Chains A and B, each alone.
Chain A
């Protein structure tokens, strides 16, 4: 350790001799690092905006669990599977549902959700515009906001009116047969801006009773306690052989897409890093050439090849550290430029199309990006120093001492 510290001090002294050269070389790396920082921050900014938009427009902690097909076999959601889903850690509430469809006598198509009233409350936190939820095993139903409007407008059906719906079944030959059922809207949901707005909601057992034979659930809705735990719950659902869907899948897609975008942005930015690395190689090769005699003398005085390599690499380490710090600072500056001038320009050019950008920064510089960029600068400098370092270590001390 003492030796390394001594070598570090010695290398620092060497660099101090050629301050301007070192600074210019470090600046070469810094520009590359700054480009990477700015590009990755830009990508992260876009990712953040996209995910925030999804978060605001979707219910992240709601997962829809459906059956799946595995090796050609359908895995249905049975009552026992639904119980297993309910027992998954971090599941706050879970309720099975049926999805069927009715039509009115005047052929208005109605999507129906069969769910227990308690599950509806726990999972969807419904707010009633009027009336009440439906009692168990009854023909009373709850209407989504838009459906209520549609029925009123086209069918003249109001809350409390008993009306007839047609349930169409198909026999084994595919021939349809219709049954009729009288239902009574007992309440209407307040507008939610989600799928419930267009649904007719009724008790799970009432829907189940419409069929002669017991049928598996169409889905189980799951409420997770925290958005952070959604992925873990989804994995547990998948391990039961079922499928998990929800807004979190959109975030996954955005993340996959943005990973790719950021990778490509980084690759283009990294081209300038290659130039920076070549500058280091050039500087260090020149430095080794200028110090040939000094290296030869050091070897005569007891320096091993490893010592020479360490001394040269220590100098590269310093250049990398200076380049990394400068690059991070420049990258922060570039990101600031993107967030001020760039954002203003984009908004002026696109108008309302990208109005969401107005709320957030375009480029998002995180400590992680800065630390990673710094490490890239250091590693790149060390790698760039390998050739000059070994070139120095391979010098013949006799010839090196004679070098003028």
Chain B
């Protein structure tokens, strides 16, 4: 199996002395559905931000989809975010003044796709996540589960090999959370995309091909 994420002794220390992440080392293969479980403050979000090239590690190295990440090159980091990574957030973070369709198209604005291509791709993804009839609805008109489905479609729109999800069901009820996990799992299999999902709910580990635990900044396999 090809390696999609390769973390080698990734560490993060804030303000010179506050350790947020120990030396995290792991590899994740192409199309794997992985959960990272840990308590709040354990460094989950820090690790996710480093994997998403939003934050830089204090030590260690990271290889994404075969490319060693140079954290000193901001332009390259932007390019990696555009091409290789899709984000799903706990708060959904949809733009309130854009419709579901427009929210899904949004990342493609930065990838300079033609309007027709954007519309077709976003429409197809909304159909896939079961929101075909809700394209023209604004986020405020959608339920939490529906908003997260839109966010999943948005994360997939540039067809990235890696999807990073930060507590994607943290704001949803149990039933909807299960549906969202099932949906992500199905889509991961269909598209052979690697899902790396941070959660503090252990029960969703059953959806994962592999689960890691983050305790005191150290990553261990469960």
Tell whether, in the assembled complex, residue A14 and residue B112 are in contact, meaning their CB atoms are under 8 Å apart: no
Interface members, chain A 293-317 (any B CB < 8 Å):
293-294, 297-305, 307
Tell whether, in the assembled complex, residue B54 and residue A397 are in contact, meaning their CB atoms are under 8 Å apart: yes
Using Cβ atoms and an 8 Å threshold, which residues of chain A touch B115? 2, 6
Known contacts A297-B89, A398-B54, A401-B89; is-contact A302 B110 (Cβ 8 Å): yes
Say whether B109 faces chain A, with CB atoms less than 8 Å apart: yes
Tell whether, in the assembled complex, residue B54 and residue A304 are in contact, meaning their CB atoms are under 8 Å apart: no
Known contacts A2-B112, A6-B109, A17-B97; is-contact A302 B81 (Cβ 8 Å): yes
Say whether B107 faces chain A, with CB atoms less than 8 Å apart: yes
Using Cβ atoms and an 8 Å threshold, which residues of chain B touch A294? 93, 95
Say whether B195 faces chain A, with CB atoms less than 8 Å apart: no
Tell whether, in the assembled complex, residue A300 and residue B52 are in contact, meaning their CB atoms are under 8 Å apart: yes
Known contacts A294-B95, A398-B49; is-contact A301 B89 (Cβ 8 Å): no
The answer for the CA separation of A298 and B106 in the assembled complex, in Å, is 8
Say whether B154 faces chain A, with CB atoms less than 8 Å apart: yes
Q: What does the 1/0 interface line of A1-35 toward B look like (CB < 8 Å)?
A: 01100110010011011000000000000000000
Tell whether, in the assembled complex, residue A300 and residue B54 are in contact, meaning their CB atoms are under 8 Å apart: yes
Known contacts A14-B97, A401-B89; is-contact A7 B109 (Cβ 8 Å): yes
Determine how close the nearest CB of chain B comes to the CB of A300; give it in whole angstroms: 5
Total number of A residues with any Cβ neighbor in B under 8 Å: 24
Total number of B residues with any Cβ neighbor in A under 8 Å: 26
Known contacts A397-B54, A398-B49, A401-B89; is-contact A303 B97 (Cβ 8 Å): no
- Give the nearest-CB partner of A300 in chain B: B87
Tell whether, in the assembled complex, residue A301 and residue B114 are in contact, meaning their CB atoms are under 8 Å apart: no
The answer for the CA separation of A297 and B110 in the assembled complex, in Å, is 13
Between A14, A294, A300, A401, the greatest number of chain B beta carbons within 10 A of the residue's beta carbon is seen for A300
The 8 Å CB contact of B98, one of A13, A299, A304, A305, is A13
- Give the nearest-CB partner of B155 in chain A: A301
Tell whether, in the assembled complex, residue B49 and residue A301 are in contact, meaning their CB atoms are under 8 Å apart: no
Using Cβ atoms and an 8 Å threshold, which residues of chain B touch A302? 78, 81-82, 107, 110-111, 158
The answer for the CA separation of A7 and B49 in the assembled complex, in Å, is 26
Interface members, chain A 240-294 (any B CB < 8 Å):
293-294
Interface members, chain B 67-112 (any A CB < 8 Å):
74-75, 78, 81-82, 87, 89, 93, 95-98, 106-107, 109-112
Using Cβ atoms and an 8 Å threshold, which residues of chain B touch A10? 109
Count A-B contacts at CB 8 Å.
Answer: 58
The answer for the CA separation of A10 and B106 in the assembled complex, in Å, is 9
Say whether B55 faces chain A, with CB atoms less than 8 Å apart: yes
Determine how close the nearest CB of chain A comes to the CB of B107; give it in whole angstroms: 4
Tell whether, in the assembled complex, residue A304 and residue B78 are in contact, meaning their CB atoms are under 8 Å apart: yes
Tell whether, in the assembled complex, residue B97 and residue A3 are in contact, meaning their CB atoms are under 8 Å apart: no
- Give the nearest-CB partner of B110 in chain A: A302
Using Cβ atoms and an 8 Å threshold, which residues of chain A touch B49? 398
Using Cβ atoms and an 8 Å threshold, which residues of chain A touch B154? 301
Tell whether, in the assembled complex, residue B107 and residue A299 are in contact, meaning their CB atoms are under 8 Å apart: no
Using Cβ atoms and an 8 Å threshold, which residues of chain B touch A300? 52, 54, 81, 87
Determine how close the nearest CB of chain A comes to the CB of B108; give it in whole angstroms: 9
Known contacts A300-B54, A300-B81, A304-B78; is-contact A13 B158 (Cβ 8 Å): no
Determine how close the nearest CB of chain B comes to the CB of A251; give it in whole angstroms: 55
Q: Which 5 A-B pairs have the closest CB atoms?
A: A302-B82, A302-B110, A301-B107, A297-B93, A304-B78
Q: A299-B54, A301-B154 are in contact. List 9 more A-B contacts (CB 8 A).
A: A2-B115, A6-B115, A293-B93, A294-B93, A299-B81, A300-B81, A301-B110, A401-B89, A401-B93
25 A-B residue pairings within 8 Å (CB atoms): A2-B115, A7-B109, A10-B109, A14-B97, A16-B97, A17-B96, A294-B93, A297-B89, A298-B106, A298-B110, A299-B54, A300-B81, A301-B87, A301-B107, A301-B110, A302-B78, A302-B82, A302-B107, A302-B110, A302-B158, A304-B75, A304-B78, A305-B74, A307-B110, A398-B55
